Protein backbone atom coordinates (compact mmCIF):
# COMPACT_ATOMS: atom_id res chain seq x y z
CA UNK A 1 0.00 0.00 0.00
CA UNK A 2 1.04 3.58 -0.61
CA UNK A 3 2.59 5.53 2.20
CA UNK A 4 2.38 9.24 2.87
CA UNK A 5 3.47 11.23 -0.15
CA UNK A 6 4.58 14.84 -0.32
CA UNK A 7 5.24 17.20 -3.16
CA UNK A 8 7.40 18.81 -4.26
CA UNK A 9 10.40 17.02 -2.79
CA UNK A 10 12.48 20.17 -3.11
CA UNK A 11 11.46 23.79 -3.46
CA UNK A 12 13.70 26.81 -3.89
CA UNK A 13 11.97 30.15 -3.69
CA UNK A 14 12.88 33.80 -3.39
CA UNK A 15 12.26 35.68 -0.19
CA UNK A 16 8.82 37.26 -0.22
CA UNK A 17 7.18 34.70 -2.50
CA UNK A 18 4.36 32.39 -1.44
CA UNK A 19 4.75 28.60 -1.50
CA UNK A 20 2.35 25.67 -1.27
CA UNK A 21 3.38 22.26 -0.02
CA UNK A 22 1.16 19.24 -0.56
CA UNK A 23 0.58 16.09 1.50
CA UNK A 24 -1.33 12.94 0.54
CA UNK A 25 -1.92 10.87 3.67
CA UNK A 26 -2.36 7.12 3.89
CA UNK A 27 -5.85 6.11 2.82
CA UNK A 28 -8.09 5.61 5.83
CA UNK A 29 -6.02 7.71 8.20
CA UNK A 30 -8.20 10.37 9.76
CA UNK A 31 -5.48 12.37 11.47
CA UNK A 32 -2.91 14.48 9.59
CA UNK A 33 0.01 16.43 11.01
CA UNK A 34 2.56 18.92 9.73
CA UNK A 35 5.98 19.27 11.31
CA UNK A 36 9.17 20.99 10.23
CA UNK A 37 12.80 20.26 10.89
CA UNK A 38 15.23 23.13 10.68
CA UNK A 39 18.94 22.45 10.26
CA UNK A 40 20.33 20.72 13.34
CA UNK A 41 16.99 20.82 15.15
CA UNK A 42 14.36 18.31 16.15
CA UNK A 43 10.93 18.09 14.62
CA UNK A 44 8.72 21.06 15.43
CA UNK A 45 4.94 20.55 15.47
CA UNK A 46 3.02 22.96 13.25
CA UNK A 47 -0.63 21.90 12.85
CA UNK A 48 -2.87 18.86 13.35
CA UNK A 49 -6.14 17.88 11.65
CA UNK A 50 -8.45 15.26 13.13
CA UNK A 51 -11.55 14.33 11.15
CA UNK A 52 -14.05 17.17 11.04
CA UNK A 53 -12.80 18.81 14.24
CA UNK A 54 -11.25 22.26 14.24
CA UNK A 55 -7.51 21.89 13.57
CA UNK A 56 -4.95 22.39 16.33
CA UNK A 57 -2.95 25.33 14.97
CA UNK A 58 -0.96 25.92 18.13
CA UNK A 59 2.40 25.22 16.48
CA UNK A 60 2.14 27.62 13.54
CA UNK A 61 4.99 30.12 14.00
CA UNK A 62 3.24 33.13 12.45
CA UNK A 63 0.12 34.17 10.57
CA UNK A 64 2.07 33.74 7.33
CA UNK A 65 1.54 30.00 7.79
CA UNK A 66 -1.78 28.32 7.08
CA UNK A 67 -2.99 24.86 6.16
CA UNK A 68 -6.07 23.26 4.76
CA UNK A 69 -7.30 19.72 4.53
CA UNK A 70 -9.84 19.14 1.79
CA UNK A 71 -12.34 16.29 1.93
CA UNK A 72 -10.62 14.77 4.92
CA UNK A 73 -7.70 13.68 2.78
CA UNK A 74 -5.15 15.85 0.95
CA UNK A 75 -3.61 18.74 2.86
CA UNK A 76 -1.85 21.89 1.66
CA UNK A 77 0.51 23.95 3.82
CA UNK A 78 0.85 27.52 2.57
CA UNK A 79 3.59 29.92 3.57
CA UNK A 80 3.04 33.50 2.49
CA UNK A 81 5.80 36.07 2.01
CA UNK A 82 8.50 33.51 2.75
CA UNK A 83 11.49 34.49 4.88
CA UNK A 84 14.93 32.89 5.04
CA UNK A 85 14.18 31.46 8.48
CA UNK A 86 11.37 29.42 6.87
CA UNK A 87 14.03 27.26 5.20
CA UNK A 88 13.57 23.75 6.59
CA UNK A 89 12.32 20.28 5.76
CA UNK A 90 8.54 20.21 6.08
CA UNK A 91 7.22 16.80 7.08
CA UNK A 92 3.70 15.51 6.91
CA UNK A 93 2.43 12.53 8.88
CA UNK A 94 -0.87 10.68 9.18
CA UNK A 95 -2.35 8.21 11.64
CA UNK A 96 -5.50 6.45 12.71
CA UNK A 97 -7.48 8.41 15.26
CA UNK A 98 -7.74 5.76 17.92
CA UNK A 99 -5.82 2.90 19.40
CA UNK A 100 -2.34 3.44 18.15
CA UNK A 101 -0.58 6.77 18.22
CA UNK A 102 1.98 5.81 15.62
CA UNK A 103 2.33 8.49 13.01
CA UNK A 104 3.55 7.59 9.54
CA UNK A 105 5.72 10.22 7.92
CA UNK A 106 6.22 11.24 4.33
CA UNK A 107 9.67 11.92 2.89
CA UNK A 108 9.35 15.66 3.43
CA UNK A 109 9.68 18.77 1.29
CA UNK A 110 12.98 20.60 1.55
CA UNK A 111 12.24 24.32 1.32
CA UNK A 112 15.06 26.76 0.64
CA UNK A 113 14.32 30.48 0.73
CA UNK A 114 17.02 32.54 -0.95
CA UNK B 1 10.85 25.56 26.58
CA UNK B 2 12.14 22.16 25.53
CA UNK B 3 9.67 19.60 26.91
CA UNK B 4 11.51 16.62 25.43
CA UNK B 5 15.29 16.57 25.53
CA UNK B 6 17.90 14.30 24.06
CA UNK B 7 21.10 15.58 25.57
CA UNK B 8 23.49 13.50 23.50
CA UNK B 9 23.67 14.71 19.90
CA UNK B 10 25.72 11.70 18.87
CA UNK B 11 26.69 8.20 19.98
CA UNK B 12 29.23 5.78 18.54
CA UNK B 13 29.04 2.06 19.29
CA UNK B 14 30.85 -1.03 18.11
CA UNK B 15 28.90 -3.60 16.13
CA UNK B 16 27.48 -6.30 18.39
CA UNK B 17 27.51 -4.12 21.51
CA UNK B 18 24.58 -2.41 23.17
CA UNK B 19 23.41 1.07 22.13
CA UNK B 20 21.61 3.10 24.78
CA UNK B 21 19.85 6.27 23.72
CA UNK B 22 18.41 8.52 26.39
CA UNK B 23 15.55 10.97 26.55
CA UNK B 24 14.24 13.22 29.32
CA UNK B 25 10.92 15.02 29.52
CA UNK B 26 9.36 17.64 31.75
CA UNK B 27 5.61 17.39 31.19
CA UNK B 28 3.86 14.93 33.52
CA UNK B 29 0.80 15.02 31.24
CA UNK B 30 2.61 12.96 28.59
CA UNK B 31 0.89 9.58 28.38
CA UNK B 32 2.59 7.90 25.43
CA UNK B 33 6.16 7.83 24.21
CA UNK B 34 7.59 6.79 20.87
CA UNK B 35 10.98 6.32 19.24
CA UNK B 36 11.53 7.12 15.59
CA UNK B 37 14.49 6.39 13.37
CA UNK B 38 15.48 8.69 10.54
CA UNK B 39 17.82 8.17 7.62
CA UNK B 40 19.07 11.16 5.59
CA UNK B 41 16.58 12.48 3.02
CA UNK B 42 13.81 10.26 4.37
CA UNK B 43 10.95 10.84 6.77
CA UNK B 44 11.15 9.37 10.27
CA UNK B 45 9.97 5.78 10.64
CA UNK B 46 8.28 4.45 13.74
CA UNK B 47 10.39 2.08 15.81
CA UNK B 48 8.81 1.29 19.16
CA UNK B 49 6.49 2.90 21.69
CA UNK B 50 5.44 2.66 25.31
CA UNK B 51 2.40 3.74 27.26
CA UNK B 52 2.92 5.66 30.48
CA UNK B 53 1.26 2.83 32.41
CA UNK B 54 4.13 0.51 31.54
CA UNK B 55 7.82 0.59 32.35
CA UNK B 56 9.18 -1.64 29.59
CA UNK B 57 8.33 -2.67 26.07
CA UNK B 58 10.39 -5.02 23.96
CA UNK B 59 10.39 -5.73 20.23
CA UNK B 60 13.20 -7.92 18.96
CA UNK B 61 16.51 -6.14 19.40
CA UNK B 62 14.80 -2.97 20.62
CA UNK B 63 13.66 -2.32 24.19
CA UNK B 64 12.26 0.91 25.58
CA UNK B 65 12.38 1.60 29.31
CA UNK B 66 10.29 4.27 31.03
CA UNK B 67 11.07 5.70 34.46
CA UNK B 68 8.14 7.98 35.25
CA UNK B 69 9.47 9.20 38.57
CA UNK B 70 12.63 10.40 36.85
CA UNK B 71 10.77 11.49 33.70
CA UNK B 72 13.29 9.52 31.69
CA UNK B 73 13.11 6.98 28.94
CA UNK B 74 15.74 5.05 27.11
CA UNK B 75 16.03 2.93 24.00
CA UNK B 76 18.29 -0.11 24.10
CA UNK B 77 19.45 -1.76 20.90
CA UNK B 78 21.22 -5.07 21.31
CA UNK B 79 23.10 -6.29 19.47
CA UNK B 80 23.78 -3.14 17.48
CA UNK B 81 24.23 -3.50 13.73
CA UNK B 82 25.77 -1.11 11.16
CA UNK B 83 22.30 -0.72 9.58
CA UNK B 84 21.11 0.82 12.84
CA UNK B 85 23.21 3.90 12.07
CA UNK B 86 20.68 6.74 11.83
CA UNK B 87 19.27 9.65 13.81
CA UNK B 88 16.94 8.53 16.60
CA UNK B 89 14.20 10.82 17.88
CA UNK B 90 12.16 10.29 20.99
CA UNK B 91 8.68 11.77 21.01
CA UNK B 92 5.93 12.23 23.55
CA UNK B 93 2.19 12.68 23.30
CA UNK B 94 0.13 14.48 25.90
CA UNK B 95 -3.35 13.41 26.93
CA UNK B 96 -4.97 16.43 25.25
CA UNK B 97 -4.55 15.44 21.63
CA UNK B 98 -2.54 13.63 19.01
CA UNK B 99 0.41 15.90 18.32
CA UNK B 100 3.87 14.65 19.19
CA UNK B 101 6.61 16.66 20.87
CA UNK B 102 10.01 15.57 19.59
CA UNK B 103 13.47 15.70 21.05
CA UNK B 104 16.40 17.07 19.07
CA UNK B 105 17.61 13.64 18.01
CA UNK B 106 20.71 11.53 18.65
CA UNK B 107 22.84 10.40 15.74
CA UNK B 108 23.89 6.79 16.27
CA UNK B 109 26.89 5.41 14.44
CA UNK B 110 27.48 1.66 14.66
CA UNK B 111 30.98 0.76 13.53
CA UNK B 112 31.81 -2.67 12.10
Note the pLDDT tens digit of each residue in B5-63: 999 999 999 999 999 999 999 999 899 999 999 998 899 999 999 999 999 999 999 99
Tell me whether residues A91 and B89 touch, CB distance under 8 A.
no
CB contacts, 8 Å: B97 with chain A: 48, 50, 56
Q: Which residue in B36, B47, B43 sits closest to B6, CA to CA?
A: B36
Q: A92 to chain B nearest CA, in Å?
A: 9
Residue B92's pLDDT is what? 94
Residue A100's pLDDT is what? 61
CA distance A13 to A49: 27
Note the pLDDT tens digit of each residue in A17-75: 999 999 999 998 989 999 999 987 889 999 999 888 889 999 999 999 999 998 878 99
Residues 6+ apart with CB under 8 A from B89: A42, A43, B6, B35, B36, B37, B38, B44, B102, B103, B104, B105
Tell me whether residues B98 and A31 touch, CB distance under 8 A.
yes
Q: A42 to chain B nearest CA, in Å?
A: 4
Q: Which residue in B85, B105, B96, B75 sits closest to B31, CA to CA?
A: B96
Residue of A41, A101, A109 best to disrupt the B interface, most CBs of B under 10 A: A101
Q: Which residue in B38, B81, B57, B73 sits closest to A89, CA to CA?
A: B38
Peptide bond into A21 cis (omega under 30): no
Asked whether residue A95 carries a pLDDT value surpassing 70, the answer given is yes
Q: For A101, which of B4, B93, B102 is closest by C-beta distance?
A: B93
Asked whether residue A1 carries a pLDDT value surpassing 90, the answer given is no
Tell me whether residues B102 and A35 touch, CB distance under 8 A.
yes
CB-CB neighbours of B81 under 10 Å = 13
Amino acid sequence: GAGVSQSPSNKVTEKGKDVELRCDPISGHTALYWYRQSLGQGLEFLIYFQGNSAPDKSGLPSDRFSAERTGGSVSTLTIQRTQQEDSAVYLCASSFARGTYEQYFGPGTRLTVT
Amino acid sequence: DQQVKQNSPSLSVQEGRISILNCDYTNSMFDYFLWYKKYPAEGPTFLISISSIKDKNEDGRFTVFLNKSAKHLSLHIVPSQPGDSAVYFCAAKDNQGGKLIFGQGTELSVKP
